[in-house]
Structure 1
Amino acid sequence: MTDPNEPAGADGAHDAPDHHEATEARDDDLLPPRGSERHHTGAPSPSDDGAATSAVGATGATGSGLDGDTDADLDDDNDNDADGEEPKKKAGCLKVGCLTLLSMALVAVLAVGGFAAYLNWKLDNNIQRSNMIPDSAGQPTRRAEAGDALNILLMGSDSRSTNLNDASRSDVIQLVHISDDRKSVQVIHFPRDLYVSIPGHGKNKINAAYAYGGEQLLILTLQNLLGIKIDHAAQIGFEGFAKLTDTVGGVDLYVSQPYSEGSFGTWDVGWHHMNGQQALGFVRERHQLKEGDIDRGRNQQAWIKAVMAKTLKAGTLLNPVKLNTIVDDLTADKNLRVDQDMPVQSLGFSLRNLRMGNVSFYTAPFTGFGSDPVAGSIDIVDEPKMKELGNAVATDDFSKYTGSANPLR
């Protein structure tokens, strides 16, 4: 991954979109039109008519006047006989139809099951797994109130290498809290310049923890800062996220601050439809934003929200071709790395009923900006609010947290 903090050079640049020509959003999520239904009426078989006529003629010739029966009575008896055979034939046809439908349903079930198995295989085969979670010794214990709530650290590295295992400063630090009932999610951005204590290294910017000791030291730093247990960790290359953006037909993002910076793009204030590379430049820009990385983190969250909204639509999840492409986008070229024990498939299934209205986004609390002789420009932690945030995460209860969610559009 190229350095997301600096504009790409000539070999990595792309033409900046004309902000006066923002394209309209396309709806790629419509289900295909259903075919028209046809209704057939069963016409009587010529052979049936013939059999009925023969029966009537034969009886009328040999049984006229027997036992006092009239011709009309005999006709009624013959009609009943003929009617008795037609339901039998109709019943046979019904059985064949039912068997056909059952066979088609079985084939469909097998196809869906086979496709699901294939996607599971692809996930297991493409995802990198490594020992990202520190040993439990000396770590915070899970609070009983949290139940089965989960805390997952989502990271992105500014390493110039495509190898996600390379140690470098972490450019993206988002803590994802999933509630015990799986009905709500809180995503918390920790600015890279947040000035915190790093175990064994004194105080420094929080992203220095990743450079000093990789994801394990970053996890320990966050656990100490919040007083929580982090259960899982994941690292994603943003080139794959850009491909995912293209797969869902691009996303609509609101630009709150205008800027123009090389390959990061040129945008006016307002809504813009962006493809993957345009959105990637948008979430990498920080130099011309008022609060630098603080604002960049909000832009990253806006992008995550927009992609999630389009991915969770039924038209996307029920489209096997598009679903297969999404898995490719996220996992191809070892683009996704998770801890050894993360249950990717079961976790995704447990969130199947999640609605975007129950996903909220926050920025870790800080009081302002400062400088340090060693670390340089820093974000100063709001200690009381940080303790409050940690308690909300630890107890799986954000109702008492007084921090405001980011007003993402």
Structure 2
Amino acid sequence: MLDDFAAEETRVERRAPGKPRWGRRFVIVIASMVALTLVAAGGFVVFLNQTAKNNITQDDLLPNPAPSATLGDGSVVKIPQSDVGQNYLIIGSDARPGEGASRSDVIVLAHVPEDKKAVQLIHFPRDLYVAIPGRKKDKINAAYAYGGAPLLVSTLQNLLGVKIDHVAKTDFEGFKNMTDAVGGVRVYAEEASDEGTFQVTEGWNNFNGEQALAFVRERKSLSEGDISRGRRQQAFIKALMIKTLTPSVIANPITLTRFVGAATDNLVVDQGLDVGKMRSEAIALRSLRSGDIVFITAPFTGFGTAPDGGSIEIVDEPGMTALGEALRTDKMDTYVDASVTP
């Protein structure tokens, strides 16, 4: 399994704007990764389970249930309630210490199909220009700034016409702490960059937590800005997964305890998502291999300028319609196969 991850990570795949891309972004379902670690721990599971339970915060992250969603073209679709898998919204914030405003820099929708044979992770670029309920059109991460997780959920439900079942949010500091907890990670970088206190070289790099944090934050010096940063974050999370699944972590009670503590310390989930739910979902997904976990980008046609002068990514309307249909009918495997070019 680790060989599969390593082989996949060496590939550098680039797509034209508007095509869903392999390789995005930042979070491989935090809750499932933590729960998988707990399950693998054997007799140590009770202690780790309690550690996670004590660390995780539950909050009101979901809006009031809605029986339908209004799509961009004005049509109304019924939100499915059962037998079409589960949708988890993962929110990552990069707010630095002392910053008052909360920004949603990472927006990933994880779809777990009903048969539990795959996980599709859909990254929504933070500058995607969309309709926000009760507001004018704006960048999608503005929905989080205006109304927190509930408004971001409503925005995505209207954009796609799907029900979002659960929400989890964390911050970049959590990934720094997880990296240090496992003794650092080895990450493949598509582009070199100067991070001030250290250099990122094209190819393989060994990072501690502080270096990994700088690596996933950098975008201004990269060739495609935020898009390139997304590929960096995907490379980082794969590297963290690989390291976490090695015997040096799984079989070491001290390292494992540190990792579970770091992974759950800054994790906030909705009221319906508890450690028991995470663990049961992880057990159902225990047979997945790396090829069953798919990273794509929500479809956009290119870049533009908003009325206020800000840089935006323009939604591919037919592509977004197709994505929503695939999610509503639990046919994401067909969507992925049709969307990826050789």
CA contact (8 A) 1:205 1:375 kept: no
Counterpart selection for 1:339 from 270, 273, 293: 270
What corresponds to 2:53 in structure 1? 124
Matched with 1:297 is 230
The letter of the residue matching 1:268 is T
Question: What residue in structure 1 maps to residue 191 of structure 2?
Answer: 257
**1:301-340, aligned counterparts within 5 Å?**
301-313=234-246, 316-332=249-265, 335-340=266-271
> Which residue of structure 2 lines up, in the alignment, with residue 150 of structure 1?
86
Alignment of 1:84-123 (within 5 A): 113=43, 115-123=44-52
Q: For 1:322 and 1:379, how far apart are their aligned partners in 2?
A: 41
In structure 1, list runs of 5 or more residues that go unmatched: 1-110
Structure 1 position 291, deviation (Å): 1.8
2:309 and 2:244 mapped to 1: Cα distance?
39
Deviation, 1:139, is 4.2
TM-score where L is the length of structure 1:
0.65
1:397 CA displacement = 1.9
CA drift at 1:375: 5.6
Secondary structure in structure 1 of the residue aligned to 2:288: coil
Check conservation: 2:94, 2:172, Cα contact below 8 A.
Answer: no
Cα gap change, 1:368 to 1:328, in 2 (>3 Å) = same
Residues 173-322 of structure 1 correspond to what in structure 2 (within 5 A)? 173-262=107-196, 265-313=198-246, 316-322=249-255
Residue 202 of structure 1 aligns to a residue whose secondary structure is coil
Give the total of aligned pairs: 289
Larger Rg: 1
1:350 aligned residue (247, 260, 284): 284
Question: Which residue of structure 2 lines up, in the alignment, with residue 396 of structure 1?
Answer: 330
Whether the 8 Å contact between 1:250 and 1:274 is mirrored in structure 2 is yes
Higher relative contact order (CA 8 A, sep 6+): 2
Alpha-carbon distance, 1:315 to partner: 5.1
Larger deviation, residues 365-374 vs 244-253 = 244-253
Question: Contact conserved, 2:123 with 2:298, CA < 8 A, in 1?
Answer: yes
Given that 1:204 and 1:375 are in contact with CA atoms closer than 8 Å, whether structure 2 keeps it comes out as: no
Judge conservation of contact 2:79–2:161 (CA < 8 Å) in 1: no
What are structure 2's unaligned runs of at least 5 residues? 1-40, 70-77
Q: Given the two structures, how large is their TM-score scaled by the length of structure 2?
A: 0.77
Please give the per-residue CA displacement for 1:276-316, whole angstroms capped at 9, x wherever unaligned.
22111111011012221112122112212221233234553
- CA-based RMSD: 2.5
* SS in structure 2 of the partner of residue 367 of structure 1: strand
Instruction: Measure the CA separation in 1 of the matches of 2:195 and 2:45.
Output: 43
Give the Cα–Cα distance (whole angstroms) in 2 for the partners of residues 148 and 119 of structure 1.
Answer: 32
Query: Does the 8 A contact of 1:170 with 1:207 survive in 2?
Result: yes
Counterpart for residue 160 of structure 1: 96
- Quick one: percent identity of the two aligned structures? 52
Cα 1:148–1:118 change in 2 (3 A) is farther
Q: CA deviation at 1:125?
A: 1.1
CA distance in 2, matches of 1:316, 1:349: 19
Correspondence for 1:87: none
Local SS of the residue matching 1:168: coil
Q: Which residue is equivalent to 1:31? A: none
CA gap of 1:177–1:309, structure 2 versus 1, over 3 A, is farther
